[in-house]
């Protein structure tokens, strides 16, 4: 064990001695990415060789766009993301002169045995696509301040999003409200903070079933304040920004037996002592 650690330290020291200038003049994340967009498509090209020079040990499999399932594909030393403009949890906001689509590149450390579990976040980069309303068909990409290391900023648009899946790998999404699932079938749920700069943490998660879409009537809690309340509900993983769990679908009593599932949580900014409620 001692010999292995000594060897590792020696390797790192050698790299630092050989390339001191590269650390002093490391390129920013936007400089490593060739990004473009249109009214229909995102296109991102990350130079993995340059990224590895900036952040040694970077793995293409740890990078995703918007959500964990939107991964890139390797072409030589480049990692390519080519997705529909409204996919991968992209948000859009119209103005008088343009439509702005926003999303985020994320470098996440995944569990080595279960790739769908995120252990921590290395860096994020907010990306916006601006498409003009006029007949020029002009579009362009802008980058917002990246997060990672000691960089941080508060994102006031953070919100909670809940998705339902039929498989434990969280790949095959199903519709909710009402939940389209057979009674007794396992349902896999992912609740996470959307559009966050990672200084915001999610606490006191509660997920519950209601007898109707309007929210009138008693709630049946699957999870309440982060604790399992239902015997067939089990938390699978949780971080400061995402919780995954499973439960068995069941009918509700009354005239409407369909299943309406809702989740809410408290979002806390590291810089503030007061948390705001997001329903």
Q: Is the confidence at residue 234, as pLDDT, over 90?
A: yes
Q: Is 203 helix (H, G, I), strand (E, B) or coil?
A: strand
Average pLDDT of the chain?
Answer: 76
Residues 143 and 212 in one domain: no
Task: Dump pLDDT digits (tens) for 167-191.
Answer: 999 999 987 778 878 888 999 999 9
Secondary element (H or E) of residue 46: strand 41-47
Q: Is residue 33 part of a domain?
A: yes
112-131 confidence digits (pLDDT tens): 666 666 667 778 888 999 98
- Residue ending a domain, among 105, 127, 148, is 148
CA torsion, ordered 79, 82, 85, 88, to nearest 10 deg: -60
Structural domain contains residue 235: yes
| Structural domain includes residue 2 | no
The answer to whether position 3 is within a domain reads no
Domain's final residue, options 109, 128, 148:
148
- The pLDDT assigned to 127 comes to 92
CATH number assigned to the domain comprising residue 106: 2.60.40.3210
Q: At 170, which CATH number?
A: 2.60.40.4100
Kind and range of the H or E run holding 54: helix 48-54
183-226 per-position pLDDT tens digit: 889 999 999 887 665 677 888 888 988 877 666 667 889 999 88
Higher-pLDDT residue of 19 and 120 is 120
113 and 187: one domain? no
Higher pLDDT, 13 or 118: 118
Query: Is residue 194 domain-shared with residue 273, that is, in the same domain?
Result: yes
Best CA proximity match to 261, nearest among 186, 211, 217, 194: 211
Task: For residue 275, give the DSSP letter.
Answer: -
Instruction: Identify whether residues 235 and 165 lie together within a single domain.
Output: yes
Separation of alpha carbons 136 and 144, rounded Å: 25
Which of the residue ranges 63-72, 120-129, 227-236 would you say has the lowest mean pLDDT?
120-129
23 has a pLDDT exceeding 80: no
Beta-bridge partner residues of 83: 42
pTM of the model: 0.49
What is the pLDDT at residue 77?
Answer: 93
User: Does the structure show a pLDDT above 90 at 26?
Assistant: no
**Segment 149-157 mean pLDDT:** 36
Co-location of 179 and 133 in the same domain: no
211 or 150: whose pLDDT is higher?
Answer: 211
When divided into structural domains, the chain yields a total of 2
Tell me: do 35 and 72 sit in the same domain. yes
Please check whether residue 143 is in contact with residue 126, taking contact to mean a CB–CB distance below 8 angstroms: yes
- What is the pLDDT at residue 65? 92
User: Is 30 in the same domain as 140?
Assistant: yes
- The answer on 182 and 133 residing in a single domain is no
Q: Which of 148, 180, 199 is the last residue of a domain?
A: 148
Percent above pLDDT 70 for the chain? 71
Q: In this structure, are 86 and 134 located in the same domain?
A: yes
Whether residue 274 sits in one domain with residue 188: yes
194 and 92 inside one domain = no
In a domain? residue 136: yes
Report, as an integer, the average pLDDT of 62-87: 92
Full domain range(s) for residue 128:
26-148
- Model confidence at 56, pLDDT cuts 50, 70, 90, reads confident
Task: Tell me, yes or no, whether 135 and 248 share the same domain.
Answer: no
Domain annotation covers residue 271 = yes
- How sure is the predictor about 8, in pLDDT bands with cuts at 50, 70 and 90? very low
Structural domain includes residue 197? yes
Instruction: Judge whether 16 lies within some domain.
Output: no
**Residue where the block lists tokens 């920013």:** 28
Cis amide linkage into residue 56, ω under 30° from 0: no
């Amino acid at each position: 064990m001692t010999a292995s650690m000594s060897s590792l330290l020696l390797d790192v020291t050698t790299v630092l001695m050989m390339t001191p200038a590269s650390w002093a003049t490391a390129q920013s994340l936007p400089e490593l990415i060739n990004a473009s967009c249109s009214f229909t498509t995102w296109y991102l090209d990350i130079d993995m060789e340059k990224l590895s020079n900036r952040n040694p040990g970077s793995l293409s499999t740890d990078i995703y766009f918007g959500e964990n399932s939107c991964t890139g594909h390797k072409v030589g030393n480049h990692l390519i993301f080519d997705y529909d403009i409204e996919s991968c949890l992209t948000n859009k906001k119209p103005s008088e002169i343009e439509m702005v689509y926003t999303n985020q590149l994320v470098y996440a450390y995944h569990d080595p045995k279960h790739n769908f579990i995120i252990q921590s976040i290395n860096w994020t980069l907010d990306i916006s696509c601006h498409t003009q309303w006029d007949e020029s068909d002009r579009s362009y990409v802008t980058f917002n301040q990246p997060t990672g290391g000691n960089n941080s900023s508060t994102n006031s648009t953070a919100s909670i999003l809940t998705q339902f899946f039929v498989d434990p790998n969280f790949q095959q999404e199903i519709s909710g409200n009402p939940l389209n699932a057979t009674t007794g079938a396992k349902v896999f749920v992912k609740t996470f903070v959307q559009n966050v700069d990672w200084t915001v943490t999610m606490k006191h998660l509660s997920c519950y079933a209601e007898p109707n879409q309007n929210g009138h009537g008693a709630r049946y809690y699957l999870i309440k304040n982060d604790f399992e309340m239902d015997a067939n509900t089990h938390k699978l993983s949780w971080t400061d920004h995402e919780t995954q769990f499973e439960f068995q679908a069941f009918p509700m009593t009354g005239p409407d037996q369909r299943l309406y599932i809702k989740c809410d949580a408290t979002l806390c900014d590291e810089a503030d002592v007061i948390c705001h409620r997001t329903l």
